[in-house]
Structure 1
């Protein structure tokens, strides 16, 4: 796995942990739940910072927020019965299309030149 592929994986992982901590901020009540929330925040931001050192920071942040938002909305609907109407689902698909578009629009030479700078 090359550096840019690993960076994209780290962004996806960071977004998953973002979903955990956002849900934790709303629903945590016991000390162990707050502990999980705190760990999720630390892991999420570590992965985000790591990926930002390897890919354009604007793209990293936009993808992180987009995936985290989509994941949080879907998790709220699935886990907590929050409404997921057709318009909301359509807008999540549009958001995810934008995230995929940003990944595809990130030029390979930028990824490669940044990876070389870190070596």
Structure 2
């Protein structure tokens, strides 16, 4: 796994933190942690998207973030466990893994067009 995909995974982990923070933050420090998590998450997502296909990066990011958020709510916050949720998470992860497997990530997402930074 290359460093760009690791950035996507770490970005998704920080997404879980900020989504939980949006629901459960109640004081200055928890809101500060939430804002820092948002900044780190999107910074890593944008950095990875510069080198990998953006559509796949976003799908993997959202899929992993959704999975982490749902599991965190069940494990940490007493959300009711339902097998249907687990089945749907597994289906979501199968799609995310499938997208990752069929994505060519050897190039650097440069389309050959001159941009503003050229």
* TM-score of the superposed pair, with normalisation by structure 2: 0.89
Structure 2 partner of 1:74: 71
Number of corresponding residues: 111
CA distance in 1, matches of 2:80, 2:2: 34
Check if 1:58 corresponds to 2:55.
yes
4+ long deviations beyond 6 Å:
none
Cα distance in 2, alignment partners of residues 98 and 7 from structure 1: 19
In the alignment, structure 1 residue 113 sits paired with structure 2 residue 107: yes
More helix, by proportion: 1
Gaps of 5+ in 1: none
Question: What does residue 30 of structure 1 align with?
Answer: 27
Counterparts of 2:79 and 2:107, CA distance in 1 = 44
Deviation at 1:115, TM superposition (A): 6.8
Report Cα offsets for 1:3-25 as digits up to 9, x if no partner.
x7111100000000000000000
The alpha-carbon deviation at position 26 of structure 1 amounts to 0.4
How much is the aligned-residue C-alpha RMSD, in angstroms? 1.5
User: Contact (CA 8 Å) 2:45, 2:57: kept in 1 or not?
Assistant: yes
Q: Which consecutive unaligned segments of at least 5 residues does structure 2 have?
A: 113-118
What's 2:42 paired with? 45
- Residue 10 of structure 1 corresponds to 7
| C-alpha distance after superposition, 1:47-101 (max 9, x if no partner) | 0000000100000000000000010000000000101201100110111111111
